[in-house]
Every structure is written in C-alpha cells, then in structure tokens.
Structure 1
C-alpha cells in the first residue's frame, strides 16, 4: 500500500530535512567497475598489530569484520613494504597487474565499462561528474582527466571531493542537470585508494577496513513514468569529529615528514602506544574515525534518507526491491535495516533487501555502491522494474540517497562476461 504524506506527518528525523529533495525523470543506463589485481590479506594487518604490541591473528580480523582480503594496486603493495618491512606477510602481487595503475586509470576503466553497457560512446557524454575521498588531483581534476582520456568533448566536468556520500551528491547533481538543462547523458565516476592515500597504513584498526577500486554510472534523461527518481542529501558539520580528514598544505609538509619519521621509528621499536598517540595528535594528512560514533550515526542517517524518499515517492516498504547502502562494513549495512524496522515501522523482511558485498572488497568509499550494483547484476539480483535505494553516509558528516526504478541495461553482457 502506497504511503501518503503531508508536512505534519513526517517522522522526527535526526538528520535529514525532508523538503530538500530532487524529483526528476532519470534512467540508469550504464554501470561499470574496475578492481585492481593485487591483494592484502589479514595476515599483513595482524603482523603490524602484533609488532606494535597488540597480538592478533589474521583469523581474528576475519571473524570481526568478515573480510579476509582486499584488492589493491601494485603501488600500494610497494608502499606497505616500505612502511611495514619487506618481510611483512600477506602482500600478494599479481604478475598481470598494471604496475603504475593510478586512480585515473581505474576511473577510466570503470567508465569504459559503463559506457559499453549503456551502448554509448564517449563523445555522446554531455557532462562528467567525478567523486573521490582519496585523490590528490587539484587541477586538472579527476573529472577533467577522465574526460580527456576517454575522448569526451570539452564539456562540463565537475569533481566532488569528500567522504563516502559524495556519490549520492553526484547522483542528485546529475538528476538536476538532466532535468533543468540541455544535458542528456551524464557520466559519473568514483575512484578510491583510501588505504594508500587517506589513512596511515600503521593505523591498522582503520586501514584494514579499506580496499581500492572504481565504479561508474551512466544516467540519461528519462521520458516515462518508470523513470521518475528521487534524490536527497544533507550535511551536518556538528558531527565532523565522527569522520575527519584534512589534506596537507605546502606549509604543513615539513612537519608531516617529521611526524611520519617518528611514527616509523616507533613502529620499528614496537612502541604501539607512542604510534597511537602520534596518529591521534597529528591528524593532518590522515583520516581519523570514531568507530563507535560511525556505527551509531551512519546507519541512522542512511535509514532516514531511504525512508524519506520512499515517502516522497508514495512507495511502500514492500514495493522497494533492494537497498544498496555504502559498504562501510557489514555491521553498518545490517544496522540500516534494523533502524528502518525499529524506528520507522518497516516490515521484518527489510533486512533481506540489503545488499552486502563488504566481505568481497572492503570499504571502497564513494566507489562501493557502484561496485555492489555490478555484483548484483552479475548474480541476477537486479531485475527490470525493481525499485532500488542507494543510501550513503560519510565524512563531514554527509549523507544522502538516490531512489530509482531499474529498467535494465542495453548491453549488460559486457559486465557479466
């Protein structure tokens, strides 16, 4: 049964502002992903933790997170060896891997797959939007470099830099451009290397959660009732301490080098408490995360975004086919369903609608939702006519969601092969 709403019947949401949404006719026509070939197993992080005075086994981390290995680029494996030592276990190279693979390379590969699945060529793209929480491309930007390497026209290319919910901001931006301008085809790319660029590898409690990869979407202007979509985003900087990251400026470089050297020396002396102290005190250049607060706040914000968009669409929980949250970790994915059921009266089968691919890839930040959708397509969990919600929450504190009806891809076989 579809739900009617009025201004007086909104739940008491903690985060989302219900009337800030976008409604537009948009169709998802292309998906793509790109995953590097190197791997880091839990044995590597157990080695670091044990050397710092916190004895762990690889099986301890798998039991706690469900994650046994994460895919990374060859250059990240080299970075791990430089920091942790060449004798560190759990660093697995692939002889077929592209040695100097960059974020741009991953983004372009994902974009090429997305365009192929949509039956589109790069010159047909009217707008490129890129997202990343771990790039260092100030100018030219990721979007501009992807635009150039794909062979797009000199069109609008915008980059959103920030935590894991920038992807929902990109989806809302694309919907608004398709609805209000002459743009007809939008390419969205997300590329991430958090483990190498945004956290310190020796901060093993955080770094072990992340992988590397890229994903891409092709969105086109819709014309039918089935193309009606809904998007919403919000930001609450009062919650900034939950997930915090500041990039280094030139004036900070000398101090950063000094701190990094101290951290490495303390690691080599097995002084875990001193390493923790330095990482906590000097956060410049490395992300910091309050795990307990993230577990409390992120699922709440994502659940609110899903609930409010379903109300805007007059869509009942039973009519929603799948919820594909940002894959922060499996506990947070499950918690999104619990919040929907406990606080907003969603039915008991809600948990079964949640997609969880964290155990296969780790946290891919802005790229995680797109990678999860590709995996759902490969396992035939995406069916035409299915309503899907894509909620995310990330650093700052930022949150959002896109709600749409999947209509199928023109050439989905390019992703299944």
Structure 2
C-alpha cells in the first residue's frame, strides 16, 4: 500500500545500563564465544527507567533534533509488548508526559511484537492521509529485560532495552508498506510471564519470510534492490541476517546492523537503527525496513528519509 507523507525527524533512547556476555556467564551456563558465534551480540542495554520513560526520551530526542513544535502532534502510536501495566496504554501516558492533555489527540498502543513499529508506522501514515491529523508521533519502546527469564540461557542472551521514535506529517513523498500475519497456535514464540520460544523454529521462519517479504514489497512496487540505498532489518540475530545477505546476494554495506551493541530490542530495534543511520546520513536516502516477530507477524516498508 502506498501513502503520501513526510518523515520530519527520528530519535532514539538507549539506557545507560549494560549487560555484557561476561555478565551472563555468571548467571547461566554460557560464554562470550558461544553467544557471539550464535547471535552476534556482545552487549545489550538494561533500563532502570520504565517503558514510558524510554518512549518519552526517544520522543524528545526526535523533537529536539528538529526543533519541532510538539503541540502539533495529534496522533501518538506506541509499539510495545512490555507495558508494565495493562492500561492505560503507553501512548496515553506519553501524551500526558509530553504535556499534550489539553489537545485533541488520538493515542493508542500496537502489539505486533518485533514487527510492531512497521505496523504502527503504516497505521499512522494511513491515518495522516485523511488530513484529519497534522502530525503523528510513532514510537517503539521495549523493556525486554522485564520479560526475560535470566535462568534460561537460550533467551536471556538475546534481548535488551531501548526506544526509537519518528515524527511523520502529511506530505508528497511516497511511502509503501506490506504487512502480514499468521496466527501461531503452536506456541513457537510467545510471552506469558517470560519470553518462551523454539529457537530453531523461529530461525527457520525468519530466514524464509524475510527474503519473501523484501521481494514482495519490491515486486509490488516495480522496484529492485538497486533502487534501495540500505536495508534495515529487525535486529534479532546476526546469523539470520547473514543468511539473508547470502541468499539475496547482498553486499554487507547494504544491510545495517547494530545487534552487537544492543541485542534484540523487539519493536524498538528498527526505529533505533533508523535514528542511528540518519545521524550518520543527512542526505535523503531510500531505505527498506523489514521486521518479523511473534504472532507470527511480518512486514516491510520503503521510505525516503
């Protein structure tokens, strides 16, 4: 699906706390070499702050970068699976924390696991087409360390905390999306109190669905990989990304990775990576973002930023 919009600014927030592989060696039967060889992760962040606090900090980063009038924001969507409470939504609380309670604002959360930001961005962009809304704040914020079992060596090595944000307005630049899902009633990947997953099955799903998703969004929009400056995938596992690079015959510099520093931050991973990329690349670029996650959910977007 294609929409007209304009990405005004991006932001991120990464908490100061760090969990190294050597820290995890003290908790479970693992070691640095094993973790790096299987995941590509060296460190991940651990927040003392709440999911809301991180969402706010990432939002303010985007606002400050653009010297943006936050009073223009009238749509807030937060992608998260780690809200510490069932209600209110992080988006509602973020509205209050940003001082926007005296305005008419539509605010809600999206739960689509690691694909959450891609889903939220399409919802926001489509709502902006109505011209009912002037400005959308889209955030991915996750405190994954709250839902990780630090006695389970297969999952505790993977996840970290953080938040990323994007401010989007109606505009004249094409943004295209493809989102999809398939109900997983076999519990391959789920969160009850803690993240539980069948690692090999998730890996098989990811290495199959990501190339298909990339190829579909390109084909549907009569584009090729030559039309894309960089691909920003969900930062789940370096081995997954390396498999896709090999299968699609991509150059290493075509795909942006930061999983070595942050681990898997679920719905926050794509907007964090976008914000970092934008800090290094001021010129307008065409990026393809692609995510996959529990649900199962998957999706992609092609944006100019």
Task: Quickly name the TM-score band, shorter chain normalised.
Answer: over 0.9
Q: Does 1:65 find its partner at 2:39?
A: yes
Q: Which has the higher strand share?
A: 2
Q: Does 1:232 find its partner at 2:178?
A: yes
Alignment correspondent of 1:107: 55
Matches within 5 A, 1:128-207: 128-152=76-100, 153-196=103-146, 198-207=147-156
Determine helix, strand or coil for the equivalent of 1:363: coil
Structure 1 residues 308 and 351, CA, compared in 2 at 3 Å: closer, same or farther? farther
Q: Distance in 1 between matches of 2:7 and 2:210?
A: 21
Structure 1 residues 299 and 218, CA, compared in 2 at 3 Å: closer, same or farther? farther
Determine helix, strand or coil for the equivalent of 1:206: coil
Q: Is the 8 A contact 1:118 1:218 kept in 2?
A: no
Q: Distance in 2 between matches of 1:212 and 1:358?
A: 12
Determine helix, strand or coil for the equivalent of 1:328: coil
Alignment correspondent of 2:280: 379
Q: Distance in 2 between matches of 1:25 and 1:350?
A: 30
Q: Distance in 2 between matches of 1:63 and 1:176?
A: 41
Cα shift readout 1:340-380 (whole Å, capped 9, x = no counterpart): x2xxxxxx345431111100111110000111112222333
Q: Distance in 2 between matches of 1:336 and 1:154?
A: 44
Structure 2 gap ranges (5+): none
Alignment correspondent of 2:4: 25
Task: After TM superposition, give the deviation of residue 300 of structure 1 in Å.
Answer: 2.4
Q: Does 1:208 find its partner at 2:178?
A: no
Q: Distance in 2 between matches of 1:393 and 1:208?
A: 19
Task: After TM superposition, give the deviation of residue 117 of structure 1 in Å.
Answer: 2.5
- The alignment of Structure 1 onto Structure 2 pairs a total of residues equal to 303
Aligned partner (choices 167, 170, 181) of residue 218 of structure 1? 167
Aligned partner (choices 311, 317, 324) of residue 219 of structure 2? 311
Task: After TM superposition, give the deviation of residue 294 of structure 1 in Å.
Answer: 1.4
Q: Is the 8 A contact 1:131 1:189 kept in 2?
A: yes
Q: Is the 8 A contact 1:242 1:396 kept in 2?
A: no
Determine helix, strand or coil for the equivalent of 2:244: helix
Task: After TM superposition, give the deviation of residue 231 of structure 1 in Å.
Answer: 1.0
Structure 1 gap ranges (5+): 1-21, 51-55, 75-100, 247-284, 342-347, 407-417
Q: Distance in 2 between matches of 1:154 and 1:202?
A: 45
Q: Distance in 2 between matches of 1:120 and 1:292?
A: 44
Q: Is the 8 A contact 2:234 2:291 kept in 1?
A: yes
Q: Is the 8 A contact 1:46 1:57 kept in 2?
A: yes
Alignment correspondent of 2:266: 365
Q: Distance in 2 between matches of 1:174 and 1:350?
A: 32
Task: After TM superposition, give the deviation of residue 26 of structure 1 in Å.
Answer: 1.4
TM-score by length of 2: 0.93
Matches within 5 A, 1:312-327: 312-327=220-235
Q: Distance in 2 between matches of 1:321 and 1:239?
A: 37
Question: RMSD of the TM alignment (CA)?
Answer: 1.8
Q: Distance in 2 between matches of 1:180 and 1:337?
A: 38
Q: Distance in 1 between matches of 2:184 and 2:112?
A: 16
Determine helix, strand or coil for the equivalent of 2:19: strand
Q: Distance in 2 between matches of 1:240 and 1:195?
A: 24
Task: After TM superposition, give the deviation of residue 60 of structure 1 in Å.
Answer: 3.1
User: Rg: which structure is higher?
Assistant: 1
Task: After TM superposition, give the deviation of residue 181 of structure 1 in Å.
Answer: 4.0
Task: After TM superposition, give the deviation of residue 207 of structure 1 in Å.
Answer: 1.1
Q: Is the 8 A contact 1:303 1:337 kept in 2?
A: no
Structure 1 residues 404 and 133, CA, compared in 2 at 3 Å: closer, same or farther? same
Q: Distance in 1 between matches of 2:156 and 2:82?
A: 13
Structure 1 residues 27 and 335, CA, compared in 2 at 3 Å: closer, same or farther? farther
